Amino acid sequence: MVGGTGSGKSTIISLIPRFYDITGGSLLVDGQEVRTYPQDELRKKIGFVPQRSILFSGTIAENLRYGKKDATEEEMWKALAIAQSDTFVREKEGMLDYVVEQGGQNFSGGQKQRLSIARAITRQPEIYIFDDSFSALDFKTDKRLRAALEEVTKESIVIIVAQRIGTIMGADEIIVMDDGRMVGKGKHEELIRNCQLYRDIALSQMSAEELGL
């Protein structure tokens, strides 16, 4: 999902785990109206990584086990590798037992994002929601992470809100938002030809050659 600031992207995806409830229309998860799910049951299905990464006081392992208390070390290291964070974790004293300060103050913005992504992967949910969760990553790390993520989420639904077109170009379906409304839907190749807003956003970030124009 892509669109300008304030276009409604984060609000829409926040309806899925019922951070807000819809007041009209319907929203279905697995064919069931979302408001009929008990919140705890619904949220067990979802791995949500917010725009602002949240880390808790405690060890890296305790952060990763949030939502899956019985996660093994093997599962955690696998999740860290997918999230491109295993290298810097191995460099920390105690590695998985390294203590995270409140709010993750002892990690960079990109490291916090990657640890938050690793936490979601550790849960192995049915639905992944990434709300601009790759914004602090450099292009190469973003690309490697998405490639690794694609390999392990083939049986899951993955929803990505992004500012960078490069993050979502390969999506099965892209939704373009503007002022709370959907103004385009389709694959990158369709939208770059048929949706002016998508085309404008894309050309502001990438060259015509990179976009296949």
Q: Note the pLDDT tens digit of each residue in 150-167.
A: 989 989 999 999 888 888
Residues in the chain: 213
* Residue 85 located in a structural domain: yes
For the domain that residue 148 is a member of, what is the CATH number?
A: 3.40.50.300
Is 48 inside a domain boundary?
A: yes
**Tokens in use for 191?**
């939208």
Sign of CA dihedral 86, 49, 60, 41: negative
The structure tokens 């839907």 sit at: 185
Say what the pTM is: 0.88
Residue-number span of the structural domain to which 174 is assigned:
2-205
At 177 the three-state DSSP class reads strand
pLDDT at res. 90: 97
For residue 98, what pLDDT is reported?
A: 97
Q: Is residue 131 part of a domain?
A: yes
pLDDT at site 23 = 84
Q: Is residue 43 part of a domain?
A: yes
> What is the reported pLDDT for 61?
97
Q: Which residues, given as ranges, of the chain have pLDDT below 70?
A: none
Count of C-beta atoms within a 10 Å radius of residue 138: 9
Burial class (CB within 10 angstroms; exposed 0-12, middle 13-18, buried 19+) of 37: middle
Q: What is the pLDDT of residue 69?
A: 92
Count of structural domains, the chain: 1
**Residue 68 counted as domain residue:** yes
Instruction: Kindly give the interhelix angle for 73-82 and 109-123, rounded to the nearest 10 degrees.
Output: 130
Considering the domain boundaries, does residue 210 fall inside one?
Answer: no
pLDDT given at position 208: 85
Res 62: pLDDT: 96
Give the model's pLDDT for residue 26. 85
At residue 182, the pLDDT reads: 93
- Determine, yes or no, domain membership for 24: yes
Tokens 């709300």 sit on residue: 131
> Does residue 161 belong to any structural domain of this protein?
yes
The pLDDT assigned to 139 comes to 85
pLDDT of res. 84:
96
Query: How confident is the model over 41-75, as pLDDT tens digits?
Result: 888 899 999 888 889 999 999 999 997 999 999 99
